[in-house]
Structure 1
Amino acid sequence: MTKRFLLFILTLGLCLTEIQTTYAQFGPPGGGPGGPGGFGGQDNRRKKEFTGVAEETPKGNGKIAGILVDSTSGKPVEFATVALINVKTNKPIDGTTSDAKGHFALTKLAPGDYRLQYSFIGYKNLDSKPFTVSKGTDLNLGSVKIQADVRTLGEVTVTGQAALIEEKVDRLVFNADKDITAKGGDASDVLKRVPMLSVDLDGNVSLRGSQNIRVLINNKPSTIVAANVADALKQLPADMIKSVEVITSPSAKYDAEGAAGIINIVTKKNTLHGLTLNVDAGAGLRASNLGLNGSYRQGKLGLTLGGFGRAMYNRASSTLDQTTLSGTQALRTSQQASAFDKPLFGQYTLGIDYDLAKDQSLSANIRYGTRNFVQQQNQLTSTFAGETLLGMTNRDVDRKDLSNSVDMNLDYVRTFKPQQEWSISTQYSRTGLTNNFYADILGQTGELTGRQRNLNNNTNQEITFQTDYQTPIRKNQLLEFGGKAIMRQVDSHYQYQIGGSTGELVFDPTNPSGALKYNQNIGAGYISYTYVTPSKYTFKVGTRYEHTGITATANENTPLNIPNYSNLVPSVNVSKGLKGGSTLKAAYNRRIQRPGLQQLNPNVNAANPQMIMVGNPNLSPELTDNVELSLSSTIKKTYLNAAVFGRLTNNAISQIRIPADTLTTGFPAGSIITTYQNIGVQRTVGASVFFNTNLTSKWSLNGGLDGYYMYMQGLTPGADGKSVTISNTGVSIGGRLMSQLQLDKGWSAQVFSFFRGPMPQLQGTMGSFYMYSLGVRKDLANKRGSIGLAAENFIGNGVTMRTNLNSPLLSQVNVTHLYNQNIKITFNYRIGKMTFEEPRRKSRSVSNDDVKGEGDGGGQPQAAPAGSRPK
């Protein structure tokens, strides 16, 4: 072979070193010399990596040795490439890799002038100073520190803004640690502060105007989230939230669910040695809470144990004016209602993690959540034909929404080297739901004229198995692939009872008992590839295939003909680092939205007979195509992010509202039934801008505006009994502003405000609403705790929201008033002493992102009856 060809082979060998060590690591850990898990001696290693070259390299008796360590943690860097480069020719002539303890050595070196080049995935290349090897040289370089490269795989950390926001190739991360006014609250209070998100008065979350999202907690799903997103968020204390990740363009690694994207709530994790106990407490006009969280970590074992409870008390009132067309007769209904809510929420967690070996870890978690939502309503309803009063009813209603949920997961992670790992995850999740109401129907003088009772018990169960593998390919590429199986079962049983003036209850013949059994099995596989170019382009492309099989029966033995379906969902994310620290990103993805439990549940919920809710078990999933373009930049002390996006959904799951047919349902004249159908087309385009600036070293200001235009089209019953196509368009604008000020002697203050303009729906417009808060906090000695005071919506008499609905058969105006003024005091304190350790290995876990939650009406939230908006 010619000399030039040999140098080419040598250079190629250096590039392939990392791939070779990757495959070599699949042997038993700690393999002996020459065994499948190791490389043997240094000479043997060099012969494997530079076959055909080492023999041609000039020989001598010089030797160089050292240890490669991480510049931040001081830990050894294993399997890094060490190249010996001739100073005169600037060509590599020899090389090796560091072992499991970071040691490396080059022997039999001929005299000459050389330098060393160190390289490894996740670290910046490092070149040593030139040195001379002479006969008999034995040079020990000691510890060589190499720095992590935060730009690897395109993840960009905004310098100076990491305390608030981080931007990555496929997501935006909002760090919530320093939020004062959310202290003592729950997850919905934190999500109100997050860019691109909106939280309505029900606690339902929207991303860029769509409620078709998936909410995860530490990358894990929960069946309680599938049943009711708003209530699930109330079970998670704000004090335990570290950050919120808004994933507008999920990669193929994530489940294909969530038309608008995924919200991942990351809780605080203990990375300390020792024993500690945290106490978080709060008391206010509308809510009080108490949380206790303990942790113990020593050696290979870590334990966490926590409990949190919150009691709330809310008042609300509403008015309803609607006109319905029944045949040729127009009926007008007027209702005045008031409500008092007394919800209780709690959750208890136990976590265990154990390091089986240096490169293997096992973790297990159990979470138990409970909800006790009790509501008392009073409804005074009058029905008119023209100006003639047809009837008046007065109802006293007791509602009980109760649930208990348990999530258990077991995760195993094997790490081969940085960014190369294999994981196996399992999860069992089960939620029991009870949704009952009990109503007394009173006459005009207050006497009992009738009684009504609805019992609805549901269970939602999931069993998940998942495996994932990722490995670097050379220095600037990452390959990820994996598979997943989900076995989901929904079981709903319901019955109606009625009674007369005696109050004795019997089964209602017009609303017989019923049941729904719904089994859904999902098999999925994905592959994702990330590539970073020398010119700072990052490409993250992938595809995911999901097959869904469904079997369902109604009333125990009536099969429902719901077809199986398969979907291929691609995703493309591209980012480009520009001069001055700016980043340009573009993305495309396709998403699936499967119906959720409440959208499937055929139980007729008539707690308010003027606004009846019933699910549709025959719903099919909807598909959405998303595109996005964004630009972010840091100008002096100000971070700016601007984005435009588009979303197209066919076969959308949409809420429709139709007058009840009293001849077949037995409901009073003027009743409106709200249900779901796959009848919609939705097209949305929008833009958003967000900024964060440090006015001084202790004063920060951040905020943003977002808006979108939506076109909706669907079917609804017409006056002649046939379905007619209706459409609606509208623009919605929202914004937020938050400022934080650090004062002397441990004092700090914060002000926050948010508004959302009217939001278009297929059959009308949902009203605007706003929120604001002011808080101060004082850190205690040694920052072991703090005490704070916050006020929310303290001017005026609460928040009012007006919703308008229109279709060929009905028109409705619903005005809801929530008396949500609040003043609260918060306290937290940490007991115990701990010492820092290296951050724990990030564990893989199950993440089911594929179910549409309650209230996800395709961007068309329903106007709720009075009192249904707990905060």
Structure 2
Amino acid sequence: MKLLQILLTGFICILTSTSALGQQPGYVGEAQGGTIVGLVKDKASGEAIEFAAASVLRTDDSVLVGGTITDMDGKFRVSDLAPGDYILKVDFLGYMPQFMDFTISAANPFFRAGLIELEVEANLLDGVEITAERSYFQQSIDKKVYNIEKDIVASAGTASEALQNIPSITVDLDGNVSLRGNSNVRIFIDGKPSGLMGSSMVAILEQIPANTIESIEVVTNPSARYEAEGGGGIINIVLKKNKILGLNGVATVGGSTFPGYDGSLNLNYRGKKWNLFSTYSYDNRERDGFSTVYRKITYPLEDSISWYTSEGNSTQGGFNHNFRGGADYTINSKSTVGVYGFFGTGENRNEDYNSYLFLNNDSLINNANYRTGLANSESYSYNAGMNYRKTFSSVKHTLTADAFFSRGYGDGLTNFEERSYDGSGAEIAFPIFQHITTIDNQQDVNVQADYVQPFENGDQLEAGLRFTQEFRDNDLFSESFDETEGVFLNDDSISNRFRFDQKIVAAYLIWNSGFKKLGYQLGLRAEQTYMNSELVTTGEDFQNNYFRLFPSAHLSYKLSDASEIFTSYSRRINRPRMWFLNPFPDYSDPYTYRQGNPFLLPENENSFELGMNNSWEKHTLSSSVYYKYTTNEFSAYTVVDSNGYSRTSFENFASEEEYGFEFVVRNQFTKWWSATSSLNVNRTNLNGENIEQGLANALTNYNARMMMFFKITEQTSLQLTYSYWRPWVMAQGIPQPFTYLDAGIRSDFFNNKLSVNLTFSDIFDTRDFETTGEGLNFYQEFRRKRETRAAAIRLTYKFGSQDSRNKQRGNGNYDGGGGMEMF
């Protein structure tokens, strides 16, 4: 803790001193260096060009020493220039760049560039409107970016379905997300923790329409800038934000054969100072599913065996209303402030029908149970936040601050009825009637500040502070009908209330530098965690407070303009959530239950990666090898008692070792045919010898995906996506691989204002989850299938102001604004 106080104190001193220097005006007589000013306009129309880039490079080696962007009047100013000869470069997408030589000296520290007129590129002067095309996949030094608008199949569904099409990302039947086979992944929305938008990550992803997503960023080895939580990496979902001046909107409506239907409306108004945005979406779906379990139990002392089998059918449905809105205000060319908020509400229903058979040593039925469950739940969540961004003399010299607050609430009621029969079919007991009520409350707080200080030689210092709080309160009340008393009585062994409160104080420092073709980044993050959980029912209190340091290092070497090598290292942590800690039993059925472990320790992970990016005229290749070593890995551990009841708890296993390689390839075969393909192969070795002698497992996972894009006509495109997935390793189980095929076609009408998407998911109905497992006295086979084969249609209509200059420049209609930059 003392070390953390020293780090925080040092950071505050750095921040206040550098901020004070950065706030000094760049005028001659006040700034210590020279200054260049100018005005940028469109040569043809004479209109000022906002957001044009003005870069200052040294004449002798072309090193970038300063830069900024033009304000709404087209004006720019770059200050703090040392005496010397420079080149001014002014450019903007869709225009030809302009260059100007100038000199700063002690005698003449101020240079007026005057009016700089940009001309539209030659291929835009033919009277044909051209929109610059961004590829589906883009690679940078620290992350991979996938532009969802290019994915016909994904853009017709939800965020969860969009993630299914991203290379190296897998989404199981319950909506749980993993990256490279690791489920300890953090998901952000516009660079912020997504848990703030709902009661669970799965619910959040199901609530976000894919057509509101600009891009998805994948960071496999995050730097010290990001929170240390999430050994699997970070997935950032960047939502769209309109850049066109005036009032603009996008309306969508769709339906599927699940059955289901949905719609959304996006409105955006952008003026010179204000940008107002809002989104409303509605989703209503229903899905069927089934599951089967076969379990063989051995009794060595009695030299006998028994069998347990179950079959279940379910129907899940519900609807959600979601509202998102906010405003950005440009105080001046250097400062912006924004506010935003979200509100979501919904209802869900679930019907389960299950049968359970118990067979004796002679394979004869001892008894058969039939159980019906009807569940209904309601939930709402909201968040509110604000952000501030200050840019100083250089566009890279910034101070940002963010704060947001979130609340979520959900309640549900499930009614069970169960009847038991003997081998002859006669009812052997009074029916069981059970009511379970759950109330969930959550609250999250996040406050952070980040500062970036660039230097003239190209080096860069980054620093930041962050405070987060995560609070959960889960109250479960169960009662069963007592045939003797004739009333419902409390189930003392099931009813419980559990609270979870976790606070994290963090600070980080990052140094970016380089030499010629070599670039490097060194970072250190410190986090102090205060974790308290309370089993209110029994009055038990569990605490775990600890301090951790998380170093990171990233290096890159540019072999040529088309080839680059990079390597990275980071230390990460995975903290157990409330679901893993609550020691009270949670029954999925009367014979299978889960029980948390309040004494679980956090996982500690060291991650290494080495990769290479290559690009050719029509092809790109991103390849990497990686290695991860985790101690205190927590995993599920199952035992079956003498009555055949299955209990699953969570334990800290000794270690987990993972290594593998990954390829992502993009090919532009012809003007009308392109493809993005990926292959991820990794080997996982799990060691649980500390839990049970001989408990260990190893598995090689394969994850392959190929997306083919065909441009049939100027307005019509076709997409085919093939996926192969083998789920991640489990301590006591081996999952089976499966494949599936998706397809989609999109056509645009009325000058691209109307788009029609027709998609087909899991065409051959092959996407299900199967696994075999075994323990000390049991062998088990499990299969689960959720309705995944469906056809869907979606209509999208764009209306409002259109800015042809923006189209020509290739900006597209939206700017995500929520990306995460590293270098």
Calculate the TM-score normalised by the size of structure 1. 0.79
Contact 1:422 1:467 in 2 (8 A): yes
What letter is aligned with 2:264? G
The equivalent position to 1:821 in structure 2, one of 774, 783, 789, is 789
Superposed, 1:552-563 pairs within 5 Å as 552-555=533-536, 558-563=539-544
Closer/same/farther in 2, CA of residues 599 and 22 from structure 1, 3 Å limit: closer
Please say if 1:710 is aligned against 2:665: no
What letter is aligned with 1:825? I
Please say if 1:361 is aligned against 2:349: no
Deviation at 1:65, TM superposition (A): 8.9
Q: Distance in 2 between matches of 1:491 and 1:96?
A: 49
Deviation at 1:23, TM superposition (A): 6.8
Q: Distance in 1 between matches of 2:474 and 2:816?
A: 38
1:190 counterpart residue number? 162
Deviations 1:492-517 (A, max 9, x none): 21222112569965234551532222
What secondary structure, in the 3-state scheme, does the structure 2 residue paired with 1:783 have? Answer: coil
Contact 1:68 1:103 in 2 (8 A): no
2:653 counterpart residue number? 679
1:67 counterpart residue number? 38
The equivalent position to 1:472 in structure 2, one of 454, 466, 471, is 454
Q: Distance in 1 between matches of 2:225 and 2:335?
A: 22
The equivalent position to 2:174 in structure 1, one of 183, 199, 202, is 202
Please say if 1:315 is aligned against 2:303: no
What letter is aligned with 2:506? A
Contact 2:188 2:235 in 1 (8 A): yes
Superposed, 1:532-571 pairs within 5 Å as 532-534=514-516, 536-555=517-536, 558-571=539-552
Please say if 1:507 is aligned against 2:489: yes
Please say if 1:772 is aligned against 2:741: yes
Range with greater deviation from structure 2 (229-238 or 652-661): 652-661
Deviation at 1:183, TM superposition (A): 3.2
2:126 counterpart residue number? none
1:757 counterpart residue number? 726
2:129 counterpart residue number? none
* Number of equivalent positions: 758
What secondary structure, in the 3-state scheme, does the structure 2 residue paired with 1:544 have? Answer: strand
Superposed, 1:8-23 pairs within 5 Å as none
What secondary structure, in the 3-state scheme, does the structure 2 residue paired with 1:254 have? Answer: coil
Closer/same/farther in 2, CA of residues 299 and 223 from structure 1, 3 Å limit: same
Superposed, 1:10-89 pairs within 5 Å as 26-27=22-23, 37-40=25-28, 48-49=32-33, 67=38, 74=49
Q: Distance in 2 between matches of 1:23 and 1:759?
A: 47
What secondary structure, in the 3-state scheme, does the structure 1 residue paired with 2:149 have? Answer: coil
Please say if 1:642 is aligned against 2:610: no
RMSD value over aligned CA atoms?
A: 3.9
Range with greater deviation from structure 2 (382-391 or 622-631): 382-391
Please say if 1:697 is aligned against 2:671: yes
Deviation at 1:26, TM superposition (A): 3.8
2:383 counterpart residue number? 407
The equivalent position to 1:349 in structure 2, one of 308, 315, 324, is 324
Calculate the TM-score normalised by the size of structure 2. 0.84
1:231 counterpart residue number? 203
2:708 counterpart residue number? 739
1:331 counterpart residue number? 306
1:809 counterpart residue number? 777
Contact 2:236 2:819 in 1 (8 A): no
Deviation at 1:460, TM superposition (A): 1.8
Contact 2:358 2:366 in 1 (8 A): yes
1:852 counterpart residue number? none
What letter is aligned with 1:454? I
1:154 counterpart residue number? none
Closer/same/farther in 2, CA of residues 390 and 252 from structure 1, 3 Å limit: same
Q: Distance in 1 between matches of 2:484 and 2:802?
A: 66
Deviation at 1:326, TM superposition (A): 6.4
Deviations 1:459-482 (A, max 9, x none): 121112111111212242221101
Contact 2:446 2:469 in 1 (8 A): yes
Deviation at 1:382, TM superposition (A): 0.9
Q: Distance in 1 between matches of 2:625 and 2:67?
A: 48
What secondary structure, in the 3-state scheme, does the structure 1 residue paired with 2:543 have? Answer: coil
Bigger-Rg structure (1/2): 1
Contact 1:244 1:264 in 2 (8 A): yes
Q: Distance in 2 between matches of 1:765 and 1:282?
A: 38
1:853 counterpart residue number? none
2:7 counterpart residue number? none
Deviations 1:196-228 (A, max 9, x none): 211222222111111011011111113367853
Q: Distance in 1 between matches of 2:495 and 2:69?
A: 70
Deviation at 1:725, TM superposition (A): 4.9
Please say if 1:791 is aligned against 2:760: yes
Deviations 1:339-389 (A, max 9, x none): 111132342111111122322211111112334332111111011231243
2:436 counterpart residue number? 454
Closer/same/farther in 2, CA of residues 687 and 161 from structure 1, 3 Å limit: farther
Contact 1:224 1:232 in 2 (8 A): no
Q: Distance in 2 between matches of 1:711 and 1:475?
A: 46
Closer/same/farther in 2, CA of residues 71 and 301 from structure 1, 3 Å limit: closer
2:408 counterpart residue number? 431
Deviations 1:668-709 (A, max 9, x none): x32212222223421111111121101111211121211111
Deviations 1:517-566 (A, max 9, x none): 222221100011111322x2221210100001123321267243423101
Identity %: 23
Q: Distance in 1 between matches of 2:520 and 2:37?
A: 36
Please say if 1:525 is aligned against 2:498: no
Deviations 1:712-743 (A, max 9, x none): 122697xxxxx545001111112111111112
What secondary structure, in the 3-state scheme, does the structure 2 residue paired with 1:347 have? Answer: strand
Closer/same/farther in 2, CA of residues 679 and 121 from structure 1, 3 Å limit: farther
Contact 2:222 2:234 in 1 (8 A): yes
Structure 1 unaligned segments of length 5 or more: list them.
Answer: 1-18, 28-35, 51-63, 106-113, 148-159, 662-668, 718-722, 848-871
What secondary structure, in the 3-state scheme, does the structure 2 residue paired with 1:606 have? Answer: strand
The equivalent position to 1:306 in structure 2, one of 261, 267, 279, is 279
Contact 1:24 1:38 in 2 (8 A): no
Contact 2:639 2:776 in 1 (8 A): no
Closer/same/farther in 2, CA of residues 693 and 191 from structure 1, 3 Å limit: same
1:370 counterpart residue number? 345
Deviation at 1:293, TM superposition (A): 1.4
Q: Distance in 1 between matches of 2:619 and 2:776?
A: 51
What secondary structure, in the 3-state scheme, does the structure 2 residue paired with 1:232 have? Answer: helix
Q: Distance in 2 between matches of 1:240 and 1:598?
A: 30
Contact 2:734 2:772 in 1 (8 A): yes
What letter is aligned with 1:618? F
Deviation at 1:277, TM superposition (A): 2.5
Contact 1:259 1:592 in 2 (8 A): yes
Q: Distance in 2 between matches of 1:316 and 1:130?
A: 70
The equivalent position to 1:268 in structure 2, one of 240, 257, 261, is 240
What letter is aligned with 1:643? S
Q: Distance in 1 between matches of 2:67 and 2:566?
A: 38
Q: Distance in 2 between matches of 1:812 and 1:104?
A: 69
Q: Distance in 2 between matches of 1:817 and 1:843?
A: 38
What letter is aligned with 2:443? Q
What secondary structure, in the 3-state scheme, does the structure 2 residue paired with 1:39 have? Answer: coil
Q: Distance in 2 between matches of 1:103 and 1:307?
A: 40
What secondary structure, in the 3-state scheme, does the structure 1 residue paired with 2:174 have? Answer: coil
Deviation at 1:580, TM superposition (A): 5.1
What secondary structure, in the 3-state scheme, does the structure 2 residue paired with 1:265 have? Answer: strand
Contact 2:666 2:675 in 1 (8 A): yes
What secondary structure, in the 3-state scheme, does the structure 2 residue paired with 1:744 have? Answer: coil
Closer/same/farther in 2, CA of residues 407 and 767 from structure 1, 3 Å limit: farther
1:856 counterpart residue number? none
Q: Distance in 1 between matches of 2:498 and 2:78?
A: 65
1:118 counterpart residue number? 87
The equivalent position to 1:442 in structure 2, one of 419, 431, 435, is 419
1:340 counterpart residue number? 315
